[in-house]
Amino acid sequence: MSPSVSDSRRGPVQPLIGITTRLDLAESTFYLRRYYAEAIAAAGGTPVYLPLIPEPSYLDRVCGLLDGLLLSGSNSDLDPARYGEEPRPRLGAVVPVRDEVDLALIARCDARRAPILGICYGAQALNVARGGSLVQDIEAEVASAVKHDQGAPYDRPSHQIRLAADSLLARLAGGETARVNSSHHQAIKGVGRDLRVAARAGDGVIEAVEDPRPDRFCLGVQWHPELGWERDALSRAIFDSFVQAAGNFRSEIRDLAR
C-alpha cells in the first residue's frame, strides 16, 4: 500500500475517487462489480460510484468534489461516431449515456488536472476523449492477434506485454515486460492528443497509454488490474500510484484554497 499523503492540519488525506458505473438497459439499473472500490480502498482512497447522469450541472458539482477519476470497464463499446467512423459488423452493444458521461467527466477532470485512471473501456474512452480512435474488433482487424478476450478465470494473467522503457508503467513494474489479464475485443488505434503508447502486446495491439506531461497523472490500461490486485505487484502499484497522485492533488487544492 502506498504511504499516506498528509495534510499538516488535518492528518492523513483520504482522496475521494469517483468510479464510473454501468447501465443495465433491461433493468434500468446503475451497477458495478465490487473490485474497483475494493482496490481503491486498499490503496488508501475513498471510493464512490458515480451514477450515469448526463446533466451538466450534476457533472460540474461532482467533478468539483473529486480528487481522482477511475473510468471502469464496460460490457458496451464506444459509439464509433464519437471518433468519426461507421459501425463495423462486430461492434458490440452501445450505451450512449455511458459514452456521454465518461467523456464529459474526462473533459472536466482534464480541465482541473485531476488524476485519471482508465481501465479497459475506460482507457478507450480516455483515448477517444483526447481525439483518438479505436480498433472496433481486434480479431477482424489485427493480423495474427493473440487472444485478448480470455474468459474465466478473469484474474489470470494470460498474455505478455512490453512496456515502454521510459514509461510510468515500466517504473511501476520494475522492468519492461509484464503478464496481464485481458478481457477486451476492442483496442486503441489512433492515439489521442497528449497521450503516448506505454505498452503493447506481442501482436502490436496497444495495451496502455499515458499522458507524459509531468504536472498530471493520466493512465489508461487495457487489462483489468482491479482483478487479482491482491496477488499481482504491478496491479497494486498502479492503484497505489493513482491514489497517491489523487492525494497529492487534494493537498494542492487545499493549499490553494487557504
Q: What are the residue numbers of the active site?
A: 120, 224, 226
Tell me 87's DSSP state. Answer: P
CA distances from 19 to 39, 121, 172, 257 (A): 11, 13, 22, 25
Nearest to 109 by CA among 59, 171, 166: 59
Q: Which helix (H) or strand (E) holds 103?
A: helix 96-112
The residue whose grid cell reads 522492468 is 175
Q: Which helix (H) or strand (E) holds 20?
A: strand 16-20
For residue 56, is the peptide bond before it cis, meaning its omega torsion is within 30 degrees of 0? Answer: no
| β 22-24/68-71 pair status | unpaired
- Determine how many CB atoms are found less than 10 A away from the CB of residue 111: 9
Q: Across the strands, what pairs with 163?
A: 199
Tell me 83's DSSP state. Answer: G
Q: How far apart are the C-alpha atoms of 109 and 63, rounded to whole Å?
A: 7
Report helix, strand or coil for 4. coil
Question: On the CB side of 81, how many CA atoms lie within 13 Å of its CA?
Answer: 6
List of E strands, 141-190: 159-163, 177-180, 187-188
